[in-house]
Structure 1
C-alpha cells in the first residue's frame, strides 16, 4: 500500500445508514457572498479559518471576523453575514453541548457575566489543528460519517471548556447561559410551530394553566402577547427581506386565508402585505403600528 493510500479512507460511507446530520458544516464562499439576516433555530459557533467575514447581529454588530477567531450565536438570534474576501469557515450547530466535563462547564456558567461588548474568541493552536483537520476531511470526503463528527464535536467543546481561561470562555458562552433551562429551550424551539396557547401548552405536555404561569414568570408578559409579537416580527422580516410568495408567508404563520392575513398586517403594520413589501423595496423602514391587543383570540 502506498503512503497516499494510508492517508485515504478505505470504506464507502455512502453505504452507511448513519450519515451526517449537518451538526458540523464546512463553508466556502467567494468575496461578496451575502447571507441575509436569518434567525438561528439552534445555537451556532462560527469558526473562521481563512479570510474576513462581516457579521451583523445583536451580540456582534458590524464585527469583522478574521481567520483563527470564532463567535457564538444563541438560538433565536438573528445573524447576517457578508464575505469581505474569499472565506472558509466551519459552523457547529447544536441544541445542547456534548460535555465531557460537566463540572468545568458549570464553573464557566457560574462565572459568566454579560460584557459591554462581545469580542470574538481567539482560536488557540490546539483547536486550530483540529479545525484544519476537519476542513481537510470535508474537502476530501463527499460523504461524511455522523459518528466521526459526533466525536469531533465532543473534542471541540472539550478544548473550549478545558483549555481556555475561565474569564474569556465565560464571556464566549454567556449568550447561551440564559437558554440552559429546559422550558426556555422549549419555547424558543417551538413558538413558531404553534397557532395558539393551548396548542403550545399541549406540545410541551403542560396544562394550559401551568404553561401560562411558567411563561409569565419567565418572560414577564402573557404568552399570547409574546406569541403575537414574535409572529409580527417574523412576518415583517419575511415581507421586507425575502422574496417568498405572500401566500407562503401567510400559511407559515398559521392564517387560514389571505384575507385574514391581510387584515392582520393592516392592523399590525398599517398596510396590506403587498403594500408593505412595496414600501420596503423603496427603502422605507416599517414598524409595528398597532396598539396592544387584549384579546387572546388574536393569536389563534
Structure 2
C-alpha cells in the first residue's frame, strides 16, 4: 500500500509498504529526498551497497541507476516520507536563488546525519501527513522551498548536485555497461541511458563484445553471483536479486548450466 498526499504526481508522499518485500530497479527522473520512519531500505548502486533504518535521511539523485529494496523490520512495515524535488521547481527556485559555483560532485546518493534543521522540518510535516485532502499549491511550494533552504544550509556542496540541469548525451557504451550490468532493465532502457536508439545500441554492443547484450548480461551477472557466493559467503536467496535475476529458480538453472553445479553448493 502507498498513501499519497496528492495525486500520482505528488511531491510530498507518505509511503507505507505492508508487503513482506519489494524490489525495484530505479532510475529517477527527479531527485528524491527520503526520511525512513520504520522498516529498512537497501540501496545497491554501481559501487556501493547500503542499508538504512528508521531515522535515516537520504537524497537519491536523478538519472542514477539503483536497485531499491524495501522491507519490514522489527514487526513494523516499511514506511517513509518522500519529498520529490522536481526539475521544474528546482529551476524556478534557482532562478531566484542563484547556485554557488563549486567543484563537480559525485552523483552517488547522499546520507545525512541527524541535524536539528532536518528534525524540525520532518516534525513540521507530521500534522499534514494525516490530512487526506489535496495540498494547496502554495503549501507544497512552501515546504519544498523550506527543504531546499535547509539542504543548502547544512550541505555546502549541494548546489553542484541540485542545480545541474544538463541532459545525458551519447556516452561510452563499454564503460557504462561494465558499471551497470547488474541492474535488471530492458535493453530499451540501457540504450536510452547510453544515448542511443535500440538498433544503434545493439550494433555498437556487437562491435565491442562480439556477442548479444542478453548473453553478455547473463554471463556478467553469473560471474558476479559466483564471486558473492564464494568470497562473500552470501546465500543464493540473498544474491539472485542483487545480480539482476527475476527469481531464484531461473538463477539456479542459469548458474548450474554455466558452472556445472547448483549455487547452493557455494552459498
The alignment's TM-score, normalised by the length of structure 1, stands at: 0.52
40, 46, 70: which one aligns with 1:83:
70
Report which of the two has the higher share of helix: 1
C-alpha spacing 1:251/1:122, structure 2 compared with 1 (3 Å): closer
Q: Which runs of 5+ in 2 are unaligned?
A: 225-267
Q: Where in structure 2 are the equivalents of 1:49-60 lying within 5 Å?
A: 49-57=37-45
Please tell me whether Structure 1 or Structure 2 has the larger radius of gyration of its CA atoms. Answer: 1
Query: Distance between the aligned counterparts of 2:36 and 2:20, measured in 1?
Result: 15
24, 32, 41: which one aligns with 1:35:
24
Query: Distance between the aligned counterparts of 1:136 and 1:50, measured in 2?
Result: 16
CA RMSD of aligned residues (A): 4.4
Measured after TM superposition, the shift of residue 119 of structure 1 is: 4.7
187, 194, 197: which one aligns with 1:255:
197
C-alpha spacing 1:277/1:35, structure 2 compared with 1 (3 Å): same
| Other-structure match for 1:204 | none
Q: Which runs of 5+ in 1 are unaligned?
A: 1-12, 192-226, 286-300
Query: Distance between the aligned counterparts of 1:153 and 1:250, measured in 2?
Result: 32
| Other-structure match for 1:26 | 14
The alignment's TM-score, normalised by the length of structure 2, stands at: 0.57
245, 266, 274: which one aligns with 2:206:
266
SS in structure 2 opposite 1:156?
A: helix
| Other-structure match for 1:185 | 165
284, 294, 297: which one aligns with 2:223:
284
Equivalent pair of 2:173/2:205 in contact (CA under 8 Å) = no
Query: Distance between the aligned counterparts of 2:138 and 2:8, measured in 1?
Result: 8
SS in structure 2 opposite 1:68?
A: coil
Query: Distance between the aligned counterparts of 1:70 and 1:34, measured in 2?
Result: 20
166, 183, 187: which one aligns with 1:241:
183
Aligned length: 206
Measured after TM superposition, the shift of residue 149 of structure 1 is: 1.8
| Other-structure match for 2:252 | none
Measured after TM superposition, the shift of residue 131 of structure 1 is: 3.0
